[in-house]
Structure 1
Amino acid sequence: MLSRILFLAIVFLLQACAAQSQLIKDELETVTKENLKYYLYYPEEYSSSGDKEFGILLFLHGGGESGGELGWIKRNGPPRLLAEGKQFPFLILAPQNPHEKKWWNTHAVMQLLDSVVSSSNVDAKRIYLTGLSRGGSAAWELATQYPDKFAAVAVVCGMAPLPYAHWIEKEMPIWVFHGDKDDVIGVGESDQMVDKLKEMGYNVRYTRYKGVGHNAWDRAYTTDSLYTWFAEQKRIN
C-alpha cells in the first residue's frame, strides 16, 4: 500500500513538472482597430491658414446614442445645441461609439483626438473633455489614464473610478453634474468621487440637481457658464 502511494506521488510530481515545462515565454504585438464616425465643429472665426489657435472640446455621448446613425448624437449635449444654432468659441469633436452595448474604446478616441489636434489650429494646452452617462464614465477614464492631456473636464452622471481618483491631474479643474433621483447611475457615484477629490485638495465643483433623474444632461449642457468656464481654462505645463 505504501509503495502504491509513493508511486502515485511520483506520478503527480512528474505531471506537475511536465505542466510547468509547457510554460513558454513569448510576445505578440496586437493591433486594435475601430471605425469612429464623428462631427467636428469649427467656430465662425476659425481659419486653418491663420495664426490664431483655438481650444477644442471632446464630447462623449451616452449609451442611447451608441451603435446607430451618426445623427443620433445630436439628441443631447453640445451637438444638440449646435444643431439648434448655438455658437461656441472653440472646436467641438463629437465621435460616436459604434457599439450599442460596449464601453467606449478610449484608446481609439485618443487617436482620433490627437489626429484632429495635429491637423488643426488647436492649442494643445486648451483641450477640454466632457461626457454624459456612459460617455461620462469614459471621461473619468480618460482623465485618469491621460492626466497630462486635458485642461478641464466636466462629467455628467457618469460612473466614477473612485480607487483611481489620485491618478487625475491635481491642477486640472473638474466640474461634476448629477441628479439625486438618478436610478440608472446612482448619485452616490458622483457624491463619493467629489468627496474623495475634495479630500485630496483637488479643484472640483459639484452641481447636484434636486429631484432630477438620469437626464441631468438636459440642465448641465444648457448651463452657459459651463462653456465660459471651459474657455477660461488652460494647462500650465
Structure 2
Amino acid sequence: MDLLKNNAFLFLILLVNSCASQPSYTLVDEELETSVTETLKYYLYYPPDYQLNSEKEFPILLFLHGGGEVEGGLDADERIPPPSLILRGKEFPFLILAPQNSFAKSWWNTRAVKQLLDSVVSNNRVDRHRIYLSGISRGGGAAWEMAVQYPETFAAMAVVCGMTPLPYASWINKKMPIWVFHGEDDAVIPVEESESMVNKLKGLGYDVKFTKYENVGHDAWTKAYATEELYDWFVLQSLDSQ
C-alpha cells in the first residue's frame, strides 16, 4: 500500500513538472495582408486663376469638418467655413479639398483621407511643398492625428477646437508652423485640451500660435475662419522654407 501511495505521489510530481514545462502560449510566425476600403465623397475648390495659367502650381488646403456636418445635404446656411464661405462667393488663393465623413458616430479614417489627398495632388497642379491642413472639432482631432502620422506632408496646420494627441506631440514635424483656435466657453471639447497641447509643443520648441476667444463656445470656427490673417499666414508657409 505504501509503495502504491509513493508511486501515485511520484506520478503527480512528474505530471505537475511536465505541465509546468509546457509553454502557456503558441507563437505563430505568419502574416495576413489586410485591405480596408472606404468611399469618400468630397468637394474640391479651384482658385479663380487656376484655369488662366496652365503651368502654375497652387497650394492646397485639406479641410476636415466636424460631427455636425456629416453627409446629409446641408444647405449653405448650415455649412461651416471655409466651404460655406466659398458657397457665398469668397475667393481663396489655393485649392481646398473638403472630404465628407458619412458616419455620425465614427472617427475620420485618416488613412483614407491621406489616399484621397495624394490622388488629388497627383491629378492637379498642386505645389507639393505647400499642402496645408485644417479641421474643426472631430475634424480638428483628425487633423492632429494626420500631423502625427504624416509629419513630412504638411507645410502648416490650423486646428479649431479639436481633441489633441498630447502624448505624441513630439512626433509632429517640429518645423511645421501651427495655429490653434479655441473658445474659452467650449462645453463640447474643453479649451484645456488645446491649452495643454500648445504648452507641450511650446515647451518642445515648436512654432505655435494660440488664439482663445472669450465668451465663445464650441463654434469658435466662425471667428477663426473669418480671420483673413489666417489665409495670408497659410500662403507664406512652405516646406522649402522650413
Q: TM-score, normalised by structure 1?
A: 0.92
Q: How far did residue 23 of structure 1 move?
A: 3.3
Distance in 2 separating the partners of 1:72 and 1:168: 35
The match for 1:69 is 72
Aligned mate of 1:135, from 139, 142, 148: 139
Distance 2:185 2:12 in 1: 67
Deviation per CA, 1:108-141: give whole Å up to 9, x if none: 0000000000000000000000000000000000
Residue in structure 2 matched with residue 54 of structure 1 by the alignment: 58
How many pairs were matched up?
235
Distance 2:79 2:115 in 1: 25
Cα pair distance change 1:106/1:9, threshold 3 Å: farther
The letter for the 2-side match of 1:69 is G
Alpha carbons 1:60, 1:131 under 8 Å: kept: yes
Gaps of 5+ in 2: none
Select 2:203's aligned residue among 191, 199, 204.
199
Normalised by the length of structure 2, the TM-score is 0.90
Q: CA 1:9–1:91 in structure 2 vs 1: closer, same or farther (change >3 Å)?
A: farther
Identity across the alignment (%): 57
* Corresponding residue SS for 1:56: strand
RMSD (Å) for aligned C-alpha atoms: 2.3
Letter paired with 1:187: V
Q: Which has the larger radius of gyration?
A: 2
Matched, 1:233 2:206: no
- The alpha-carbon deviation at position 160 of structure 1 amounts to 0.7
CA distance in 1, matches of 2:53, 2:36: 34
Alignment-derived partner of residue 12 in structure 2: 7
Alignment of 1:123-202 (within 5 A): 123-202=127-206
Gaps of 5+ in 1: none
Distance 1:93 1:12 in 2: 65
1:95 aligned to 90, 99, 114, which one? 99
The yes-or-no answer on 1:29 pairing with 2:33 is yes
Q: Deviations over 1:69-124 (max 9, x none)?
A: 25469610210100111000000000011211111000000000000000000000
Candidates 108, 130, 136, aligned match of 1:104: 108
Distance 1:12 1:143 in 2: 53
Superposed structure 1 runs of 4+ greater than 3 Å apart: 1-6, 11-16, 70-74
